[in-house]
Structure 1
Amino acid sequence: MSIFSGTIQNLENGLQYSTTKQKTIAQNIANVDTPNYKAKDVTFEQFFQRAKQASLPAYRTNDRHFDFKMRDYSPGVFNYANIRYRQNGNGVDMDKEQANLATNQIYYNALIDRVNGKLNSLQTVIKGG
């Protein structure tokens, strides 16, 4: 029996996703005046689809049982190919990027609070109180 039953690893995957999204948003903001730059994004849907496709074969007692899933997730970054917000071909919408930045920061802080809660619970159990 695992102490956290995969919770810490799932939180770590969420933090990895949030970090990749933060880097992508920062790159978009940095290139807001670059001609012909196309905005990039990271979506959970693509992240989840890749995770669903990565499975390990396992002995199943029933055909309805799921295969074991691999835990090596790496969120993918994609370009918005056909979007232009300026005459120079730039595809960055600064208002959208700032809203995404704030949303991602809240998500990241929530994950960090959850990890701290899990580790504090473990510390309390170890100390016996």
Structure 2
Amino acid sequence: MNLFSNTFSTLENALNYSSTRQKVITNNIANVDTPNYKAQDVSFKNVLQDSIDSIKTIRTDPRHFDLSDDSTDSNVTITQNNGSYNNNGNSVDIDNEMSNLASNQIFYESLIELEKGKLSSLLNVVKGGQ
């Protein structure tokens, strides 16, 4: 018996993604002056693909998306080898990282608010609507 709906597990996965992304961004910021350090990011596509792989899907109409593509790897953290912003070979753009940090914080806080709302609704049901 599943006490909670799939919403809780979806929110938990989203919080895990946001937490992983926060760690990667702060690691990039910490290594802004490290020679030859290449910035990393978290691939949402790979996280999503891992979640989709655990779901059995059947395509019943040609207009439906084909979710059976196995072409992606399961690596969540990717290294960005597309350039160097400093003379020492470092590819961390501090302005971009700070922007990513702020947007990830907003995303995380909104997930927490959604989780609080779900738990509040559950508490209301347990109390009998009082």
TM-score over 0.5 for the alignment?
A: yes
Match of 1:81 in 2: 81
Correspondence for 2:119? 119
Inter-partner Cα distance in structure 2 for 1:4 and 1:34:
45
In 1, the alpha carbon distance for the partners of 2:75 and 2:22 equals 12
Relative to 1, partners in 2 of residues 1:49 and 1:98: Cα closer, same or farther, differing over 3 Å? same
Per the alignment, residue 92 of structure 1 pairs with 92
Identity of aligned residues (%): 48
- Report if aligned partners of 1:28, 1:92 keep a CA contact under 8 Å in 2: yes
Distance in 2 of aligned mates of 1:12 and 1:75? 19
What is the TM-score of this pair, normalised by structure 1? 0.81
Q: Is the 8 A contact 1:17 1:75 kept in 2?
A: no
Segment of structure 1 superposing worse, 42-51 or 76-85: 42-51
Please state how far the C-alpha of 1:51 moved relative to its aligned partner.
2.5
Match of 2:109 in 1: 109
Q: 1:9 to 1:76 in 2, by over 3 A?
A: same
Quick one: structure 1 residues 112 and 82, their matched pair in 2 at CA, closer, same or farther if it must change by over 3 Å? same
Once the 2 structures are TM-superposed, how far is the Cα of residue 48 of structure 1 from its aligned partner?
A: 1.3
Q: In 2, Cα distance between the equivalents of 1:8 and 1:93?
A: 35
17 and 63 in structure 1: CA distance in 2 versus 1, 3 angstrom threshold: closer
Secondary structure of 2:41's partner? strand
- Give the paired residue count: 119
RMSD between aligned residues: 2.6
- Unpaired segments of 5 or more residues in structure 1? 68-73
Kindly indicate whether residue 34 of structure 2 is the aligned counterpart of residue 38 of structure 1: no
Check the 8 A contact 1:24/1:40 in 2, yes or no. Answer: yes
- Contact kept, 8 Å, 1:47 with 1:76, in 2: the verdict is yes
Q: Distance in 2 between matches of 1:3 and 1:121?
A: 14
Aligned-pair distance for 1:82? 2.8
Structure 1 counterpart of 2:60: 64
Match in the other structure for 1:48: 48
